[in-house]
A and B are shown apart, each in its own frame.
Chain A
Amino acid sequence: GESVGLHLPTLSVQEGDNSIINCAYSNSASDYFIWYKQESGKGPQFIIDIRSNMDKRQGQRVTVLLNKTVKHLSLQIAATQPGDSAVYFCADHPGGSQGNLIFGKGTKLSVKP
């Protein structure tokens, strides 16, 4: 809900502009990464994922870029719309056949009409 957005980095963009949301991860063995969108009062919603054998993956209006050298993940949203306003966070899988996802704290995206 609203309390999720407190204490988070905030990105404010104009409607129609492109947005770039960044995420750093710490485990060099992480082999799978996900981006989620969370609107106020709702659960996280899967947006796009990428495996460590890829550098880039595109979806509808979204692109995820993975830089394994610096352990950095980014989500690009093209032509940002008011409905994109939400908290976005990444998650990574530490590698191997077991182990659960590790979730980041998130970035709050605000879109100005």
Chain B
Amino acid sequence: DAGITQSPRHKVTETGTPVTLRCHQTENHRYMYWYRQDPGHGLRLIHYSYGVKDTDKGEVSDGYSVSRSKTEDFLLTLESATSSQTSVYFCAISERQGDQPQHFGDGTRLSIL
């Protein structure tokens, strides 16, 4: 299995609070991604990174920010969490963009009350 660790694995918080999810990889892959997974939808891309300090928006980026200060770490922040952001969040990594598999972590289940 690809060395991807997501933390925390579960979190319950209240509307309006800030939340940061962490993704840590040991594969030295250039690309890292954050997705959310909701019933009735495929995985939807929130943000991705193509290098240290290099990030770009995905399909559903509103309300989320990211940072990548080291190759191995990619952080996802909800500045002021809303109930619509209740979801399962997955981090993924890949060596190149697009035409190769992405490898996923085991997810963070986030509930916002």
Contacts and interface: CB of A to CB of B under 8 A. Distances in A.
Interface of A: 1, 3-4, 6-7, 31-32, 34, 41-46, 49, 51, 89, 91, 93-94, 96-106
> Which of B39, B42, B99, B104 has the largest number of chain A CB atoms within 10 A?
B99
B106 A42 contact: yes
Given A42-B106, A46-B102, 4 more contacts: A6-B39, A41-B106, A49-B101, A102-B42
A46 B4 CA distance: 14
Interface string B67-105: 000000000000000000000101000000111111111
Contacts of A91: 43
Q: Is the interface of B mostly helix, strand, loop or mixed?
A: loop
B97 A34 contact: no
* Band of interface residues on B: 20 to 34
Interface of B: 4, 33, 35, 37, 39-45, 48, 58, 88, 90, 97-107, 109
A35 to B, nearest CB: 10
Given A49-B101, A93-B99, A7 B107 contact: no
A74 to B, nearest CB: 17
Contacts of B105: 43
B104 A44 contact: yes
